[in-house]
């Protein structure tokens, strides 16, 4: 996909400002674990309202194994390689949580995607790695993937390196070979010479479903880790205060490549922290609470209080808004982060969740207003807002409703039975106000071979959660 200005011939865009001017998305690539017993899939879906195939699957790869749990994806090359005209954004890297496989999908022709290579679990296990999660392309031509466990599933935070041409494992990233206790997501900001990683928990316990007792037993994390990018060395661990800091999952630096601010969404703590240089000692990073979402007092649920459960965050390409998905409460929150040190809630919409009017769960808080169940094109939306992807111009937010099959079965069994959905939220370019688009629905329960649990979404030309500028 061509860049509109300052084009060096490499993938992506020269800057976030150029990305904002990029062409409107017409298709998305979507990972989709099978909801029952069948192979997972990666789909190309048509999101062009002028197309005859609008809201339909137009290409797919059914992976050759059962039970992989395709989850997040990354690119072989992105805007970090924009100055390299020989590089091309051509392959999706698809780590699998449950099987420790990594699939490489050729997407050069978005209407005829195909499986090009499979990295078998034994290659990760030979490096004492398992449970691969986040994948980012690097400017040096390599691909880096966070891993959450050792080969036997023991919690261990490490980073796998793949060759960006052959897709063969090359080793691990940390220069000193040191690992952190837990791992999950990571984001690097080369001009700040920093990388931040986050924590989920013990892979063997994650796979069994969520048990709140495991948090106090130390089987889930509450820390973020700071690495020096150039030297590949661990510098610092920031322990986020409990209970707000429990399960810090997604991390996002602002897109402007010299910006010093990053945001972390804590799932169980239902809080947003800003990671930034300490005022007294700028060489050290600190974490400041930016926002927290109170739990709801409830009856008819497994616990007396229900957390919002922040499972994804996203920053608009212009660094104006932070989007937060609350998988249990069912709302997407949009914060104005024009001043990162003083973020403000600007807009909010509800998509499913556990506390709507048809959920059989009663909210006991006196200030609670009834939330109607959401129907789009006659389809009741099950699950809650999970993965987010925003158009480059910031006008369209895409949302899927599945988190992780084992956890879906625990919290939203009907979402598993009926299949997940993808929705679109329209965003006013002036005010930022969000409104659900009632004309957009992709029902993965009705896709041939399904039902499927649609999860992460990517644009062919780059997006708000994959591209990093150097």
Q: Locate tokens 């150097």: which residue?
A: 470
Render pLDDT for 264-319 as a digit per residue (tens, 0 to 9): 999 999 999 999 999 999 999 999 999 999 999 999 999 999 999 999 999 999 99
Residue 325 in this model has a pLDDT that exceeds 90: yes
Residue 2 in this model has a pLDDT that exceeds 50: no
Question: Using CA atoms, how far apart are residues 395 and 434, in angstroms rounded to an integer?
Answer: 9
317 Cβ partners below 8 Å, 6+ apart? 16, 19, 20, 255, 390, 392, 393, 394, 464
Structure tokens at 338: 């024009």
3-state secondary structure 388-399: EEECCCCCEEEE
Q: What's residue 468's pLDDT? A: 87
In a domain, 464, yes or no: no
Question: Using CA atoms, how far apart are residues 155 and 18, in angstroms rounded to an integer?
Answer: 40
Strand partners, 253: 262
Question: Using CA atoms, how far apart are residues 433 and 427, in angstroms rounded to an integer?
Answer: 6
pLDDT, mean of residues 450-464: 94
In a domain, 356, yes or no: yes
In a domain, 469, yes or no: no
Q: What's residue 8's pLDDT? A: 54
Residue 3 in this model has a pLDDT that exceeds 70: no
Residue 251 in this model has a pLDDT that exceeds 80: yes
CATH of the domain at 253: 2.130.10.10
Residue 393 in this model has a pLDDT that exceeds 50: yes
Neighbours of 359 (CB within 10 A): 17
- Tell me which of 117-126, 254-263, 360-369 is least confident: 360-369
CB 229 within 8 A of CB 223: no
Q: Locate tokens 């994650």: which residue?
A: 206
- Number of structural domains, the chain? 1
- Distances 197 to 137, 206, 249 between C-alpha atoms, Å: 15, 18, 9
In a domain, 377, yes or no: yes
- Distances 209 to 214, 380, 408, 458 between C-alpha atoms, Å: 11, 25, 9, 27
In a domain, 6, yes or no: no
Question: Using CA atoms, how far apart are residues 3 and 188, in angstroms rounded to an integer?
Answer: 23
In a domain, 13, yes or no: no
Give the structural domain span for 276.
27-458
CB 148 within 8 A of CB 154: no
CB 273 within 8 A of CB 245: yes
Q: Which long-range contacts (CB under 8 A, 24 or more apart) does 355-362 make?
A: 355/296, 355/298, 355/306, 355/328, 355/329, 355/330, 356/330, 360/300, 361/298, 361/299, 361/300, 361/301, 361/306, 362/298, 362/299, 362/300
Q: What's residue 12's pLDDT? A: 72
Q: 287 by DSSP, 3-state: which?
A: strand
In a domain, 21, yes or no: no
In a domain, 19, yes or no: no
């Amino acid at each position: 996909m061509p860049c509109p200005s300052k084009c060096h011939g490499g993938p992506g865009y020269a800057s976030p400002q150029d990305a904002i001017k990029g062409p409107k998305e017409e298709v998305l690539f979507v990972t989709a674990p099978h909801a029952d017993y069948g192979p997972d899939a990666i789909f190309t879906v048509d999101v062009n309202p002028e197309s005859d195939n609008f809201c339909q699957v137009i290409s797919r790869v059914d992976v050759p194994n059962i039970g992989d749990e395709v989850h997040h994806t990354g690119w072989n090359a992105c805007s970090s390689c924009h100055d390299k005209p020989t590089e091309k954004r051509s392959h999706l890297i698809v780590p699998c949580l449950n099987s420790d496989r990594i699939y490489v999908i050729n997407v050069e022709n978005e209407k005829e995607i195909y499986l090009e290579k499979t990295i078998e679990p034994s290659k990760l296990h030979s490096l004492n790695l398992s449970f691969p999660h986040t994948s980012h392309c690097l400017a040096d031509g390599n691909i880096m993937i966070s891993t959450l466990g050792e080969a036997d599933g023991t919690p261990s935070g490490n980073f796998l390196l793949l060759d960006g041409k052959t897709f063969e494992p090359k080793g691990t990233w940390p220069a000193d070979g040191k690992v952190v206790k837990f791992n999950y997501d990571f984001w690097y900001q080369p001009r700040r010479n920093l990388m931040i990683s986050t924590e989920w928990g013990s892979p063997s316990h994650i796979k069994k479903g969520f048990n709140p007792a495991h948090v106090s037993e130390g089987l889930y994390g509450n820390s973020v880790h700071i690495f020096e990018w150039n030297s590949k060395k661990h510098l610092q661990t920031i322990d986020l205060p409990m209970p707000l800091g429990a399960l810090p999952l997604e991390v996002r630096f602002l897109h402007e490549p010299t910006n010093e601010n990053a945001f972390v969404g804590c799932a169980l703590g239902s809080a947003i922290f800003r990671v930034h240089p300490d005022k007294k000692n700028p060489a050290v990073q600190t974490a400041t609470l930016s926002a927290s979402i109170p739990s709801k007092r409830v009856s008819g649920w497994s616990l007396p209080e229900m957390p919002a459960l922040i499972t994804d965050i996203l920053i608009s390409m212009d660094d104006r808004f932070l989007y937060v998905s609350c998988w249990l409460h069912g709302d997407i929150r949009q914060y104005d982060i024009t001043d990162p040190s003083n973020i403000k809630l600007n807009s909010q919409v509800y998509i499913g969740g556990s506390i709507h009017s048809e959920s059989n769960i009663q909210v006991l808080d006196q200030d609670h207003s009834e939330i109607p169940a959401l129907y789009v094109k006659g389809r009741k939306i099950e699950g809650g807002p999970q993965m987010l992807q925003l158009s480059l111009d910031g006008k369209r937010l895409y949302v899927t409703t599945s988190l992780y099959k084992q956890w879906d079965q625990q919290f939203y069994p009907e979402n598993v039975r009926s299949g997940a959905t993808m929705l679109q939220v329209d965003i006013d370019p002036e005010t930022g106000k969000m409104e659900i688009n009632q004309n957009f629905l992709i029902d993965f329960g009705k896709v041939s071979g399904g039902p499927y649990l649609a999860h992460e979404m990517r644009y062919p030309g780059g997006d708000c959660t994959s591209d990093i500028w150097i």
